[in-house]
């Protein structure tokens, strides 16, 4: 099975998305945006999974199946993450992660 | 009856349990009745068993209750060895104990802790009977430790005052040294023979290496010196007089302190085969006898005189064992149990009447305490070995045996001690009962004890008068000799074919002369004041001081051994605090130090954590990529 778009293009986009996500996590201070960036990284990985799975075709569908698992984990992660952000926001009216450092040793 | 021999110790145990459980709440003074009844029944049983043993064809019976320890070849059965020796011991123990229990009903009447007293006292008798009836060293050791425990509890009976519990602690610690010897002896016996049962050990004793056998015998003898207060472990016994007087009479005069004598006598075949061990026993006994008698010369506390007298008489018993006359030792043990218990109970009666122990404040009490006086006079005569009282027969036999068996020096010490014994007993009797009352107040308030106390005195006096003749007449062929001969006969090369009556009479005359000389000197000094005792004391000068302070043995032990022990324990304490605890503390300190450095990593900033995760990721990718591309090799 062949494809019009070469594998390298998928991987390049996946890598780009991933590093945009990493940069977002490192640079941004808004907790909600950080969570969104994490989502971006997860979906970058999903794209890579799907691309490789497509490439291997009928021989191996495990890549596609794994994407479903990642969805579930991502959904859970967002649920927990947003709950934490909400709790922190109720405690003090900010979502700036640099303002929340009670755990400083 | 012999098959029910276990009832003899079981009855006192039952009394102890009942009094211990119900005494404090319900029984109070009735505990004395419970204990006395149990002891009386036990004594009757002991008489029945004794009679049956003497009548039995086979002199030795083992009654097994159950197996206590059975590991491999090691067997310790809870069983009783019933032979004339143990039956006689059981009889003496239960008989004297019964009278002392009855006496205690009067003596302890007003004491708040009477239920405690009548719990420990029968418990003591139980352990003593276990010790006496045991058929192996392990069960004997149970009794051995048990009597030590009860002794500790009863010496410290009046624990509100400091002296009794200090004395109790001292007795316990010094006994532990002896117990260590017993344990070593027991273990070595098992290793050498492969059994701890008396009969088996004694059968196989000839096959053991003589050197090892000597070590075993000396280890057992160390145990005996601890329990029987022989040099150098004697100094706990006089201090043990802090306990109630019936306790002194029962435990520290008549029964427990004779456990060491019984141990050596029971192990006669072992000691006889052990070569140099027996002379050591004899020499230690003789030196102790003389040593304690000299101290007794100058003491003023009536109970202390009796205490040193006990140490001295126990020395005689070991002397007898050492010169190869175990029958004489057991004979003296039996007669001594009667007259020494009587002397103590008499002293107790005096103390009960006057509430005073210092003989310097007594005097003239014979008019106030006639029964006590006359019974104590008989006991004192027995102690001074005046014929035909009990002490004469047994002590004369010991001293005579020392001579005929070839130990003239020990014989000389025995005779000299006899003079001293007669002197100090005369002195004690005179200071207490004769002369003018030295303290009017005490004299006016003195009163004779109630019948519950005087009747046991009278019965013991009968024992002090008659037991010698009944048990030991004619000399070397009496009842006690015939019955103990199968158990305690020592194989000697020249079996005495015909007793040399001239020699026996001569030796007896020497003993009697020694006793009378001591009494004469005592009467001259205290009744006629010629020479005056105070002048004699001044003339003796440093010797008198030395005797008054008991040869400074306590001080020596305090300064040499106790201080050394305290220094050692101090060093151990310092090691514990500085090294053991120090190590743990340093480790904890180190952990805290590392933690205080490492906590700086925990910034609390999410960005930092995220950065470190990414950094880790980069490293992982770099390494994995390195392997994948072949730049890195494993």
CB contact under 8 Å between B607 and A102, yes or no, is: no
Q: What is the DSSP letter of B206?
A: G
Residues 6+ apart with CB under 8 A from B352: B106, B107, B245, B449, B453
**Which site among A25, A29, A99 would you substitute to test the B interface, given the most B Cβ atoms closer than 10 Å to its Cβ?**
A25
For an interface test with B, which of A22, A23, A37 has the most B Cβ atoms less than 10 Å from its Cβ?
A22
How many angstroms separate the CA atoms of B7 and B329, rounded? Answer: 28
The candidate with the shortest Cα–Cα distance to A20, out of A36, A32, A5, A31, is: A36
Nearest neighbour of A101 by CB, restricted to B600, B603, B614 = B603
B57 band by pLDDT with thresholds 50, 70 and 90: low
* B102 and B451 Cβ atoms separated by less than 8 Å: no
3-class SS of residue B586: helix
pTM, full prediction: 0.76
Q: Report the chain B residue with the minimal C-alpha distance to residue A37.
A: B610
Task: Please give the residue of chain A at the shortest CA–CA distance from B599.
Answer: A105
- Best B596, B597, B610, B611 member to test A by mutation, with max A CBs in 10 Å, is B610
Q: How many residues does chain A have?
A: 105
Section B576-585 average pLDDT: 92
**Across residues B580-609, what is the average pLDDT?**
89
- Calpha distance B328→B290 (Å, rounded): 19
Contacts of B605 in chain A (CB under 8 A): 97-98, 101, 104
For B19, residues 6+ apart whose C-beta sits below 8 A from its C-beta are B27, B31, B34, B35, B115, B118, B119, B122
- B600: nearest CA in chain A? A105
For B10-30, write each residue's pLDDT tens digit.
999 999 999 889 888 887 778
pLDDT tens per residue, range B193-210: 888 888 888 888 888 888
Cα B21 from chain centroid (whole Å): 27
> Nearest-CA neighbor of B341 among B389, B392, B375?
B375
Tally of residues, chain B: 634
The predicted model gives B425-444 an average pLDDT of: 84
Q: Rounded to an integer, what distance in angstroms lies between the CA atom of residue B109 and that of residue B524?
A: 40
Which of the two residues, B384 and B57, has the higher pLDDT score?
A: B384
**Which of A26, A102, A104 is opposite residue B607, by nearest beta carbon?**
A26
Considering only the beta carbons, identify the residue of A22, A34, A101 that sits closest to B605: A101
Q: Which of B326, B264, B329 is nearest to B488 (CA)?
A: B326
Sequential DSSP letters for A17-58: HHHHHHHHHHH--BHHHHHHHHHHHHHHHHHHHHHHHHHHGG
Residue B589 has pLDDT above 90, yes or no: yes
Quote the pLDDT of residue A1: 47
Give me the residue from A26, A100, A101 closest to B610, CB to CB.
A26
pLDDT above 90 (res B574): yes
Quote the minimal CA–CA distance from B561 to chain A in Å: 57
Q: Is the pLDDT of residue A14 over 90?
A: yes
What's the pLDDT band for A43 if we cut at 50, 70, 90? very high
Element (H, E) at B253: none
Tell me: the pLDDT tens digits for B479-534?
777 777 777 765 554 445 556 778 878 888 888 888 888 888 888 888 877 777 77
Q: Are strands B61-71 and B74-82 parallel, antiparallel or unpaired?
A: antiparallel
Which residue of chain B comes nearest to A96, CA vs CA? B606
User: A97–B611: do the CB atoms touch at under 8 Å?
Assistant: no
Chain A partners within 8 Å of B607 (Cβ): 26, 29, 97-98
- pLDDT band for position A78 (50/70/90)? very high
Binding-face residues of B in 560-599 toward A, CB within 8 A: 598-599
pLDDT tens digits, B362-377:
878 888 888 888 999 8
Tell me the average pLDDT across B146-171.
89
Does the CB of B493 have a partner CB in chain A at under 8 Å?
Answer: no
Chain A interface with B: residues with Cβ < 8 Å: 22, 25-26, 29, 31, 34, 97-98, 100-105
3-class DSSP state of A93: coil
Which candidate from A29, A34, A104 shows the least CB-CB separation from B603?
A104
Q: How far apart are CA A28 and CA A45, in angstroms?
A: 21
Q: What percent of chain A has pLDDT over 90?
A: 46
pLDDT in the model for residue B80: 85
Chain A residues lying within 8 Å of B599, measured CB to CB:
105
Q: B213-238 pLDDT, tens per residue?
A: 899 999 999 999 988 888 888 888 88
Q: Which of B605, B611, B614, B618 to mutate to test the interface with A (most CBs of A within 10 A)?
A: B605
Please tell me which residue of chain A has the smallest CA distance to B610.
A26
ipTM of the complex in this document: 0.81
Instruction: Give the mean pLDDT of chain B.
Output: 86
Share of chain B above pLDDT 90, in %: 20
- pLDDT exceeds cutoff 80 at B385: yes
DSSP secondary structure of B462-518: HHHHHHHHHHH-STTTSHHHHHHHHHH----SS---S--HHHHHHHHHHHHHHHHHH
The helix (run of H) or strand (run of E) holding residue B79 is: strand B74-82
**Helices A31-56 and A7-27, packing angle to 10 deg:** 160
Taking the Cβ of residue B611 and every Cβ of chain A, the question of whether any pair is shorter than 8 Å is answered with yes
pLDDT at residue number B494: 47
């Amino acid at each position: 099975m062949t494809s019009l778009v070469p594998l390298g293009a998928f991987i390049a986009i996946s890598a780009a998305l991933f590093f945009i996500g990493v940069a977002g996590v490192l640079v941004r201070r808004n907790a909600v945006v950080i969570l969104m960036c994490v989502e971006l990284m997860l979906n970058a990985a999903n794209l890579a999974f799907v691309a490789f799975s497509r490439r291997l075709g009928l021989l191996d569908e495990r890549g596609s199946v794994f994407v479903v698992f990642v969805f579930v984990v991502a959904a859970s992660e967002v649920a927990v993450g947003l709950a934490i952000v909400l709790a922190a926001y109720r405690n003090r009216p900010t979502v700036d992660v640099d303002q929340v450092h009670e755990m400083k040793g | 009856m012999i098959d029910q021999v276990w009832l003899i110790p079981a009855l006192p145990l039952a009394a102890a349990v009942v009094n211990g459980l119900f005494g404090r709440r319900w029984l109070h003074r009735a505990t004395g009745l419970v204990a006395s009844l149990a002891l009386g029944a036990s004594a009757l049983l002991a008489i029945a068993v004794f009679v049956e043993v003497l009548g039995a064809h086979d002199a030795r019976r083992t009654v097994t209750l159950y197996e206590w320890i059975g590991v491999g070849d090691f067997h310790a059965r809870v069983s009783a060895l019933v032979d004339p020796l143990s039956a006689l011991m059981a009889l003496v123990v239960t008989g004297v104990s019964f009278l002392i229990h009855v006496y205690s009903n009067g003596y302890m009447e007003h004491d708040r802790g009477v239920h405690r007293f009548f719990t420990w006292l029968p418990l003591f008798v139980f352990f003593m009977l276990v010790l006496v009836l045991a058929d192996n060293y392990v069960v004997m050791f149970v009794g051995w430790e048990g009597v030590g425990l009860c002794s500790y509890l009863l010496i410290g009976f009046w624990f509100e005052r400091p002296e009794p519990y200090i004395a109790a602690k001292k007795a316990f610690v010094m006994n532990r040294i002896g117990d260590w010897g017993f344990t070593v002896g027991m273990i070595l016996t098992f290793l050498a023979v492969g059994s701890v049962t008396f009969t088996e050990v004694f059968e196989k004793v000839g096959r053991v290496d003589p050197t090892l056998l000597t070590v075993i015998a000396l280890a057992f003898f160390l145990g005996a010196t601890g329990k029987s207060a022989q040099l150098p472990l004697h100094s706990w016994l006089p201090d043990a007089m802090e306990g109630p007087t019936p306790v002194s009479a029962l435990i520290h005069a008549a029964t427990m302190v004779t456990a060491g004598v019984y141990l050596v006598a029971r192990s006669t075949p072992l000691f006889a085969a052990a070569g140099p061990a027996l002379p050591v026993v004899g020499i230690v006994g003789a030196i102790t006898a003389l040593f304690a008698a000299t101290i007794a010369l100058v003491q003023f506390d009536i109970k202390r005189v009796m205490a040193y007298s006990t140490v001295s008489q126990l020395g005689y018993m070991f002397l007898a064992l050492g010169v190869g006359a175990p029958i004489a030792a057991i004979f003296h043990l039996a007669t001594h149990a009667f007259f020494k218990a009587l002397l103590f109970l008499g002293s107790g009666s005096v103390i009960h009447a006057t509430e005073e122990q210092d003989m310097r404040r007594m005097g003239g009490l014979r008019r106030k305490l006639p029964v006590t006086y006359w019974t104590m006079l008989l006991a004192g005569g027995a102690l001074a070995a005046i014929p035909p009282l009990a002490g004469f027969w047994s002590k004369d036999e010991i001293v005579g045996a020392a001579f005929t068996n070839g130990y003239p020096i020990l014989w000389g010490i025995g005779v000299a001690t006899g003079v001293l014994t007669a002197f100090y007993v005369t002195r004690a009797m005179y200071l207490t009962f004769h002369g003018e009352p030295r303290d009017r107040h005490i004299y006016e308030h003195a009163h004779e004890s109630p019948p519950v106390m005087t009747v046991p005195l009278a019965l013991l006096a009968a024992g002090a008068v008659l037991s010698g003749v009944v048990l030991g007449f004619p000399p070397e062929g009496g009842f006690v000799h015939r019955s103990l001969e199968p158990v305690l006969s020592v194989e000697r090369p020249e079996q005495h074919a015909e007793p040399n009556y001239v020699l026996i009479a001569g030796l007896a005359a020497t003993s009697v002369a020694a006793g009378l000389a001591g009494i004469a000197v005592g009467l001259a000094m205290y009744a006629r004041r010629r020479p005056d005792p105070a002048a004699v004391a001044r003339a003796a000068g440093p010797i008198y001081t030395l005797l008054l302070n008991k040869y400074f043995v306590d001080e020596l032990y305090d300064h040499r051994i106790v201080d050394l022990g305290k220094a050692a324990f101090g060093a151990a304490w310092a090691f514990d605090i500085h090294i053991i605890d120090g190590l743990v503390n340093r480790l904890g300190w180190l952990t805290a130090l590392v933690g205080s450095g490492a906590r700086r990593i925990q910034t609390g900033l999410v960005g930092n954590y995220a950065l470190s995760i990414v950094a880790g990721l980069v490293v992982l990718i770099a390494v994995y990529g390195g392997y994948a591309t072949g730049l890195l090799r494993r």
